[in-house]
Amino acid sequence: MTKIAVFGSGSGTNFDAIMKWINNGKLQAEVVLVVCDQKGAGIIEKAEREGLETFVFSAKDYASKAEYEAVLVEKMRLLGVQWVVLAGFMRLVGETLLNAYPHHIINIHPSLLPAYKGKDAIGQAYRAKATKIGVTIHYVDEGMDTGEIIAQKAIELTGNESLEEVAYMIHAVEHGLYPATLEMLFTKEKSLCL
């Protein structure tokens, strides 16, 4: 069973989708830690409901990114974490974490990267009147929403959708694409290790 840590800052609907796949046996993984940088975020409540170990931190309580990432790496090593799964984690990953998990940190972003990087990607695409939007899953590097692309799924819009409808469509794609991509990555890695 692949051991993963899920990192989030928000409502945790992607975390929920991953848990659904795990709980019904479609994703061969175990979430051994949920990390959150926002006290009171929905993802924490959801993780606690699942009975999972959580680590909530505030970046301002640490002298630097390297300092809190060293704490996270230590924790994850003790728990045997193999993959770090960012699910709405709104913070750039630094070299301490990147060096500890080379090519094993992945992120989901609600746009067809390289278009609309950064915060509020759905709003950015909507205001630009984009008619082809989508979701990207990619390896994490030191940049913001850069890194090698693993999977993308596009959605065509008519241009008559409201922002809420577009957001709903994006999230529906995310909740299928993320767990399916994780399953593909973990299965591939297991077959390479045999």
* Residues annotated within a binding site: 12-14, 65, 90-93, 107
Q: Look at the alpha carbons of 69, 70, 73, 75 in this order and tell me if their dihedral is positive or negative.
A: negative
CB of residue 9 vs ligand GAR: minimum separation in angstroms? 7
Provide Rg for the chain, Cα atoms: 16
How many of the chain's residues bind ligand GAR (CB under 6 A)?
15
Nearer CB in complex with ligand GAR: 76/107: 107
Quick one: tokens of 45? 């409540």
Q: Would residue 109 show up in a list of annotated catalytic residues for this protein?
A: yes
Q: Does 10 bind ligand GAR (CB under 6 A)?
A: yes
Find the distance separating the first CA and the last CA of the chain, reported in whole Å.
Answer: 14
Handedness of CA 48, 75, 39, 7 (dihedral sign): negative
Residue nearest to ligand GAR (CB): 88
Q: Based on the shown chain and the rule CB under 6 A, indicate whether residue 108 belongs to the binding site for ligand GAR.
A: yes
Neighbouring residues of 77: CB distance < 8 A, sequence distance ≥ 6: 100
Binding-site annotation: residue ranges for (6R)-10-formyltetrahydrofolate: 65, 90-93, 107
SS3 17: helix
Residues 126-165 that bind ligand GAR (CB under 6 A): 145
Q: Which stretch binds ligand GAR (CB under 6 A): 8-16, 18-26, 61-69, 70-78?
A: 8-16
Taking the C-alpha atoms of residue 17 and residue 26, their distance in angstroms, rounded to an integer, is 11
Active site residues: 109
Sites of contact with ligand GAR (CB under 6 A): 8, 10-14, 43, 87-88, 108-110, 121, 145, 174
